[in-house]
Amino acid sequence: MEELLAPMGPVAAVNEQDRIILYSEQNSAAFAEAVQRLSGRLRIHPSGFEVRTMQSIPRLANGKIDYRSLATGPDPTYTVGRPGTCPTSSGPGPR
């Protein structure tokens, strides 16, 4: 999934119980549309995705995505949205 969305900028995908959380450094309608296309391509209902926008995706010293940090919770500057919408609220969201 990350590879398919990579042209849109830094992104991390994390499986969370009944949905896929996509962390992005981009808060745009273009990213939401890309997620919508991905949903169709993978045949996953759009409600199966949640987009969270962060100022920067956490990285390990070797430059790889720090998934453990994402699993413990994003930084307090993310926004939450669903595919097809551009997240506009800021501040802590649901965990």
pLDDT tens track for 21-75: 899 888 778 888 888 898 999 999 988 988 888 888 999 999 999 998 887 765 5
Give the largest Cα separation in the chain, rounded.
Answer: 35
Fold of 2-81: GMP Synthetase; Chain A, domain 3 (3.30.300)
With a CB cutoff of 8 Å and minimum separation 6, the contacts of 45 are: 39
pLDDT above 60 for 4: yes
User: Where do the structural domains in the chain lie, given as residue ranges?
Assistant: 2-81
Query: Within its chain, how far is the Cα of 60 from the centroid?
Result: 18
Q: Which amino acid is at 52?
A: R
Q: What pLDDT does residue 9 have?
A: 86
pTM: 0.71
- Give the other-Cβ count within 10 Å of 57's Cβ: 19
